């Protein structure tokens, strides 16, 4: 069996601006001019909103200065000025929301495209990857990554970009109205603010990474425990599971407390910088007013501009944290995308073309781990249309042959041929389309019986599903169910018995109708009567096909054309059932042992 130890994905640094650059093609898709037009329109709304916002302090200054004079015309001027100020604020709100409306589709489409690429990559990765990774961790990685995209886009385009533009224009306005002194003080305060924000946020980044890890660990333990609900109940391990989950959540809570406390320190430091700037700027303006250089309206002018600057600056800390954390979350998704595909298709590989569905193993050497070889130079040939069985003690390599035939792994040495074609030289999709399997452990989708049967072939109709159900001796069960084929099977098919699940798996393979059948203990969970019915069905559907049957109960494969006996990854015997019994080797020993066991259970093996 493959190793079950967890392996870590490459820990290359992806959480910097390289991650953002990798995301830009999703944001600016070359093949979708409509979305690019939306980005341009959103940017125009940003410019209109910024221009409106920069005009508002002028209106307030004019109003305050005009209030120092008297007369009906001045009252009208002040009134129209404040009404213009209110209208400007409303217009800014309209521009901001129109920007969001126009851009929403862009953000959602970028998120969708990246999520779809990651999902497709997960299906391209090898079985080894999925056996060594935890489902909960991968699910959480995708969830965090996709959630961070939309937030990052919003802040980068609608907060940072307008803030930079506004800072530049305000610096010019301050220079012409107050000279270099106020411009320099504002620039110094902004530099200090950015430095404080970046320094403390980098410290918080490590806390965030730890929180992500502990959050994924807690979710993984919860998912793993719930998926093994029956096992937990069998061993009365509820308290143990609760303790494991509680330990994970406590660690997460401690990390969350540290993270939130560090946020408090950051907010205090930011507040000190911004309020020192405000105090200095207002004092400077009051001093100028005292000397007669400035008007009262200019005090409001400065205060309004600084308040407008402080609003995005106050958010800048959160924005930087969000972007920094979003880059970390997105980096995890890109690590999934960057994970090397262990079993890739050769560039330009043709589809498998089958005239005679023969299967050949030529000196195949394979091991799941270095130093632990499972198959040791295995060679055999199965002619097209023949029914060949694979038997042997546990660990002989029988299930490994099935995995190699489906090309979940590639052999270390040797070749596997179907109709004379090396399966490494053809597309995996065409290879797997030519092989059907009924596994020993049949796992079903959490959907209906009809859906699980029809899953065998894309586009299968109701007649195909019903015919396959009859062939798998399922119609009796389905006719007893109130919802028939629409009956939900539950998580992994747990609402069905083991035999019922296996029959659904057999029906699913019958719908696929492949030229090569792989039966991996296909009737191990069935009662004797149902097993006889299904063996007859399998015997019928396997005619004119190549069938490889992996069996532990030798009576089920005694009628095979040829039986391959494996031991420690090598082929030790090959012949028909009667010839192997006459040979008196490993197969005869296994048959005799099962005959004794059957006698002890008041059963007799079915002789050929």
**DSSP assignment string, 12-56:** ---SSHHHHHHHHHHHS-TT-HHHHHHHHHHHHHHHHHHHHHHHH
CA dist., res. 512 & res. 521, Å (int):
19
For residue 553, the SS3 value is: coil
Max alpha carbon distance in the chain (Å)?
124
**Which tens digit of pLDDT belongs to each residue from 507-527?**
888 888 888 988 887 666 566
**DSSP assignment string, 485-550:** GG-B--GGGTTS-HHHHHHHHHHHHHHH--SEEEEESTTTTS-HHHHHHHHHHHHHHTTTSEEEEE
Phi/psi at 406 (5° precision): -80, -5
Give 473's pLDDT tier (boundaries 50, 70, 90): confident
CA dist., res. 332 & res. 142, Å (int):
8
**Sheet of strand 562-567, all strands in order from the earlier edge strand to the far edge:** 435-438, 516-520, 546-550, 387-391, 562-567, 570-575
Mean pLDDT of all residues in 47-52: 86
Q: For residue 13, what pLDDT is reported?
A: 46
Q: For residue 7, what pLDDT is reported?
A: 37
Q: For residue 417, what pLDDT is reported?
A: 93
Mean pLDDT of all residues in 443-471: 85
Per-residue pLDDT for 494 more than 50? yes
Per-residue pLDDT for 365 more than 50? yes
User: Which tokens belong to 44?
Assistant: 């125009």
**217-227 burial string, b = 16+ CB within 10 Å, else e?**
bbbbbbbebee
Q: Supply the mean pLDDT for the chain.
A: 79
CB atoms within 10 A of CB 351: 12
Give 87's pLDDT tier (boundaries 50, 70, 90): confident
Q: For residue 70, what pLDDT is reported?
A: 60
Q: For residue 3, what pLDDT is reported?
A: 40
Give 180's pLDDT tier (boundaries 50, 70, 90): confident
Out of 177-181, 378-382, 589-593, the most confident range is 378-382
User: Which tokens belong to 226?
Assistant: 């719930």
CA dist., res. 62 & res. 378, Å (int):
92
The contacts of residue 57 (CB under 8 Å, 6+ apart) are 300, 301, 304, 305, 308
For residue 604, the SS3 value is: coil
Mean pLDDT of all residues in 588-604: 70
Looking up tokens 């009628």 gives 559
CB atoms within 10 A of CB 150: 16
Give 604's pLDDT tier (boundaries 50, 70, 90): very low
Q: Are strands 387-391 and 562-567 parallel, antiparallel or unpaired?
A: parallel
CB atoms within 10 A of CB 581: 17
Q: Is 389 exposed, middle or buried (0-12, 13-18, 19+ CB in 10 A)?
A: buried
Q: What angle do CA 510, 514, 520 make, to 5 degrees?
A: 70
Mean pLDDT of all residues in 249-262: 81
Q: For residue 71, what pLDDT is reported?
A: 60
Q: For residue 594, what pLDDT is reported?
A: 78
**Which tens digit of pLDDT belongs to each residue from 394-435?**
778 888 888 899 888 889 899 999 998 999 999 988 998 888
Give 568's pLDDT tier (boundaries 50, 70, 90): confident
Q: Could you give the count of Cα atoms lying within 13 Å of 602 in the half-sphere of its Cβ? A: 0
CA dist., res. 91 & res. 89, Å (int):
5
Mean pLDDT of all residues in 199-217: 77
CA dist., res. 190 & res. 310, Å (int):
10
pTM of the model: 0.62
Q: What angle do CA 437, 439, 442 make, to 5 degrees?
A: 120
Where do the domains of the chain lie, and which CATH numbers do they carry?
17-338 (1.20.1560.10), 349-434+515-608 (3.40.50.300), 439-513 (3.40.50.300)
On whether the CB atoms of residues 186 and 174 are closer than 8 A, the answer is: yes
On whether the CB atoms of residues 541 and 511 are closer than 8 A, the answer is: no
Q: For residue 9, what pLDDT is reported?
A: 40
User: Which tokens belong to 291?
Assistant: 């000397």
Per-residue pLDDT for 361 more than 90? yes
Mean pLDDT of all residues in 208-215: 78
Please tell me the least confidently modeled range out of 69-73, 160-164, 533-537, 579-583. Answer: 69-73
Q: For residue 608, what pLDDT is reported?
A: 36
Per-residue pLDDT for 73 more than 70? no
Mean pLDDT of all residues in 275-303: 76
The contacts of residue 373 (CB under 8 Å, 6+ apart) are 365, 366, 367, 412, 569
Give a three-class secondary structure readout of 376-418: EEEEEEECCCCEEEEECCCCCCHHHHHHHHCCCCCCCEEEEEE
Out of 84-98, 206-220, 287-301, 417-431, the most confident range is 417-431
On whether the CB atoms of residues 50 and 166 are closer than 8 A, the answer is: yes
The contacts of residue 377 (CB under 8 Å, 6+ apart) are 363, 364, 365, 413, 414, 570
Q: For residue 120, what pLDDT is reported?
A: 79
Per-residue pLDDT for 11 more than 70? no
Per-residue pLDDT for 363 more than 90? yes
Helices (H) then strands (E): counts for the chain: 19, 10
User: Which tokens belong to 218?
Assistant: 């807690």
**Which tens digit of pLDDT belongs to each residue from 90-120?**
988 898 889 888 888 887 787 787 777 787 7
């Amino acid at each position: 069996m493959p190793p079950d130890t967890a392996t870590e994905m490459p820990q290359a640094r992806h959480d910097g601006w390289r991650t953002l650059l990798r995301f830009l093609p999703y944001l600016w898709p070359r093949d979708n001019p409509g979305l690019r037009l939306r980005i341009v329109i959103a940017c125009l709304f940003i410019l209109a909103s910024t221009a409106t916002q920069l005009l508002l302090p002028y209106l307030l200054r004019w109003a305050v200065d005009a209030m120092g004079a008297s007369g009906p015309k001045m009252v009208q001027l002040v009134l129209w000025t404040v009404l213009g100020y209110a209208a400007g604020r409303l217009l800014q709100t309209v521009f901001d929301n129109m920007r969001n409306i126009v851009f929403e589709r862009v953000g959602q489409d970028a998120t969708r495209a990246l999520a779809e690429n990651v999902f497709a990559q997960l299906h391209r990765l090898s079985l080894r990857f999925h056996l060594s990774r935890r489902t909960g961790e991968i699910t959480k990685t995708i969830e965090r990554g996709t959630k961070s995209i939309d937030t990052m886009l919003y802040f980068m385009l609608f907060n940072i970009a307008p803030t930079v533009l506004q800072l530049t224009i305000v610096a010019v306005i301050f220079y012409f109205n107050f000279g270099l002194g106020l411009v320099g003080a504002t620039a110094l305060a902004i530099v200090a603010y950015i430095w404080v924000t970046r320094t403390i946020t980098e410290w918080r980044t490590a806390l965030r990474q730890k929180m992500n890890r502990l959050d994924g660990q807690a979710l993984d333990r919860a998912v793993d425990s719930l998926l093994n609900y029956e096992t937990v109940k069998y061993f009365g391990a509820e308290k143990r599971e609760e303790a494991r989950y509680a330990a994970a959540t406590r660690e997460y809570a401690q990390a969350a407390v540290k993270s939130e406390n560090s946020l408090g320190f950051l907010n205090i430091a930011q507040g000190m910088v911004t309020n020192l700037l405000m105090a200095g700027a207002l004092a400077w303006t009051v001093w100028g007013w005292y000397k007669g250089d400035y008007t009262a309206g200019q005090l409001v002018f400065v205060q309004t501009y600084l308040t407008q600057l402080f609003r995005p600056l106050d958010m800048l800390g959160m924005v930087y944290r969000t972007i920094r954390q979003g880059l970390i979350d997105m980096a995890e998704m890109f690590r999934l995308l960057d994970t090397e595909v262990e079993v890739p298709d050769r560039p330009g590989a043709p589809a498998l073309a089958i005239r005679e569905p023969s299967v050949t193993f030529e000196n195949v050497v394979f091991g799941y781990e270095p130093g632990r070889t499972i198959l040791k130079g295995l060679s055999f040939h199965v002619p097209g249309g023949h029914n060949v069985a694979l038997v042997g003690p546990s660990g002989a390599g029988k299930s490994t042959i099935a995995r190699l035939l489906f090309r979940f792994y590639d052999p270390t040495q040797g070749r596997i041929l179907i109709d004379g074609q090396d399966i490494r030289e053809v597309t995996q999709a065409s290879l797997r389309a030519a092989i059907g399997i009924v596994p020993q452990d049949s796992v079903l989708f959490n959907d209906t019986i009809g859906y699980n049967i029809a899953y065998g072939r894309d586009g299968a109709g109701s007649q195909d599903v019903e015919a396959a159900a009859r062939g798998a001796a399922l119609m009796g069960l389905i006719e007893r169910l109130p919802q028939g084929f629409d009956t939900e099977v539950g998580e992994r098919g747990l609402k069905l018995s083991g035999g019922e699940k296996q029959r659904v798996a057999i029906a699913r393979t019958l719908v696929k109708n492949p030229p090569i059948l792989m039966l991996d203990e296909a009737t191990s969970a069935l009662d004797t009567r149902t097993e006889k019915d299904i063996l007859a069905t399998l015997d019928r559907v396997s005619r004119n096909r190549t069938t490889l049957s992996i069996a532990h109960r030798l009576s089920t494969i005694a009628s095979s054309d040829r039986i391959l006996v494996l031991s420690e990854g090598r082929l030790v015997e090959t012949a028909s059932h009667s010839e192997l019994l006459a040979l008196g080797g490993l197969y005869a020993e296994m048959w005799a042992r099962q005959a004794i066991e059957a006698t002890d259970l008041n059963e007799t093996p079915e002789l050929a």
